[in-house]
Amino acid sequence: MRIAQEEVFGPVVSLITCESFDEALEIANGIPYGLSTALYSRDVNKAFRAIRDLEAGITYINAPTIGAEVHLPFGGVKQTGNGHREGGTGALDFYTTWKSAYIDYSDKLQRAQIDLGE
Amino acid sequence: MDRFPHMARPFRMSIPPTRTTLIGEFQSSGADDVSDAVSAAAEAWKTWRLTPAPKRAEILYRTGEILSQRKEQHAQEMTREMGKVLSETRGDVQEAIDTAYYMAGEGRRLFGQTTPSELKSKFAMSIRMPVGVVGMIAPWNFPMAIPSWKLFPALVCGNTCVIKPAEDTPLSTFNLVQALIDAGLPPGVVNIVTGYGPDAGAPIVSHPGIRAISFTGSSEVGRIVGQTAAANFKPLLARDGRQERHDRPRRRQPRSCPRRSRLGSLRHHRPALQPPPAASSCTRRSRQSSPRGWSPAPTPSR
């Protein structure tokens, strides 16, 4: 169903019936994108399974798929992006580059990664 | 690791430079082998991702112990395979052991974050999730250390792997993965695809079932890998070519400084190979800045 596979920038929602929770997960994951997902349930087991198994960068339980807060990573999987995140520590990861600094103050030759059995 | 079902295209590895002593015979893999490997990895991921991280880590601990027991054997085989001197190859195996223990420790960490929410009665957290099947392409110069840097963190995080070692050094990757298998790694979690870049590496990068790529190699190949990965929205870890620079300030040189700098430049050479890619460590010193008028101390004879 094309309308359930493509991004629709309008007030349209595809309501797809399913027979089971597993099938619902399958339908939700059966798209090339993975930004935001939501599950409405009072069943704590299903809630945690949804968090674990929904292929998306964000999963809401008992809340709509909008409502991300700035202090947690924002972004998705599959064709939603390339793994980087905006927001939270994800943003800091992207906008910084690591510098590893080693200071040898032994005043002698010390061989790293050469194994002389010393 | 699945043994290849169709060993139809072997290539032979021999000792440089005489090329008379056979190191081994490995599959010259192609896209069909990569496809098989990805299928095995995807199937294994269904259960590996659900294996608790501390349990995944226990396999890495055991891998570290096994590598420690086999260290001398693997070092000698690595020296035969690619020509580094034994003190270097022992260090290479030790790096894999160190990585195994370090990443095993992460099995009881992999911390996420819990944060307050802007709304009442709402809970917010971030969790580390595995990516899926990860493709890895490794170079010849650290043939056990670099595959361990790629495999072990990927595994403890719950990913499954398809790894292609350099065509010059398949044996050391086999030894590494054999240690994982002997430590209890389930079938299909790590899959080795041996062979050449265009035949076996390129299909890894473009395969739709592979969710992320970790590549170490030349900048030239890295650019192609990056373009292909980007076209498929794949996260890419690329460590490409570089030139290391040593800057020598004018005053107060430690006496051993020239010798130490040479260590960074000339160690890790591969005298047996022709043409010689001498000093082929990725962090070797290739440029050095010195104050005008400075002259090096006489070269020690060692």
Mean pLDDT is highest, among A5-14, A92-101, B88-97, B238-247, for B88-97
- B278 pLDDT band (50/70/90 cuts)? very low
Amino acid B275: pLDDT: 37
**DSSP assignment of A39-88, as one string?**
E--S-HHHHHHHHHHS-SSEEEESS-S----TTS-B--EETT-SS--BSH
Segment B2-6 mean pLDDT: 48
B211 touches A at CB < 8 Å: yes
Answer with the residue of higher pLDDT: B249 or B25: B25
Amino acid B249: pLDDT: 57
Q: Read off the pLDDT of residues B124-160 as tens digits, 9 standing for 90 and up.
A: 999 999 999 999 999 999 999 999 999 999 999 999 9
Structure tokens of B182?
């002997």
Amino acid B242: pLDDT: 62
Hey, are the CB atoms on A51 and B87 less than 8 Å from each other? no
- Mean pLDDT taken over chain A: 93
- ipTM (interface pTM): 0.90
- B274 pLDDT band (50/70/90 cuts)? very low
B236 touches A at CB < 8 Å: yes
Nearest neighbour of A109 by CB, restricted to B87, B94, B256: B256
Chain A partners within 8 Å of B260 (Cβ): 109
CA dihedral B216→B219→B222→B226, nearest 10 degrees, is: 130
- B292 pLDDT band (50/70/90 cuts)? confident
Amino acid B10: pLDDT: 76
- B273 pLDDT band (50/70/90 cuts)? very low
B94 touches A at CB < 8 Å: yes
* CB contact at 8 A, B288 and B248: yes
Amino acid B302: pLDDT: 45
Nearest neighbour of B235 by CB, restricted to A69, A83, A88: A83
Hey, are the CB atoms on A82 and B259 less than 8 Å from each other? no
- B241 pLDDT band (50/70/90 cuts)? confident
Hey, are the CB atoms on A115 and B91 less than 8 Å from each other? yes
Can you tell me the distance from the alpha carbon of B253 to that of B258, in angstroms, rounded to the nearest whole number?
Answer: 9
Q: Is A30 helix (H, G, I), strand (E, B) or coil?
A: coil
B283 touches A at CB < 8 Å: no
* Nearest Cα to Cα of residue A25 among A3, A50, A57, A52: A50
